[in-house]
Amino acid sequence: MNTLNYFIIAGGFGQIFTAMIYPFIRHRVFDWYNDVKQLKPLNQEIAKTYGHYIQGLNFSFGLIAIVIPKHLANGSALALALTSLIAAYWVGKVATQIAYYPMYDIPKNPIFKIGSYGMNTLFVFFATLYTALCAFNLYQLL
């Protein structure tokens, strides 16, 4: 197995970690469930559904990376399509994080502050990894 596959697998474990830690962050850091209770019932369900979509995508992208890493960098049209999708997802997450999620709302507890830097580092790593994989696959196809 080459170095690139190790990076892909590391990214996969990181994405699964974000999926697993996501409910804790919503509940303990952002008090998300109490905020959602203030919405109308339909909007509550929509917000919860979007939360599950995010969690499911993070887990699924991670599982794909762990199970078939070499297929994400084999230069095929499918590899290009999938890495483009995942790159767009994570680049969008980083852009959204910067533009819309002010970090001053993070509780001042040091563990949450360190955690926010750690999560943001993971998001940038995922965006960089999948953008590089997308470029690699595109280069292979040309």
For residue 104, what pLDDT is reported? Answer: 62
What's the predicted TM-score (pTM) here?
0.91
User: Whose structure tokens read 């040091």?
Assistant: 110
The domain locations on the chain are 3-141
> pLDDT per residue over 21-66, tens digit each?
988 888 877 788 888 999 999 999 999 999 999 999 999 999 999 9
Return the SS3 of 34: helix
Residues 131/87, Cβ–Cβ less than 8 Å: yes
68-117: per-residue pLDDT in tens? 999 999 999 999 999 999 999 999 999 998 888 766 667 778 888 888 88
User: Phi and psi dihedrals of 2, rounded to 5?
Assistant: -90, 170
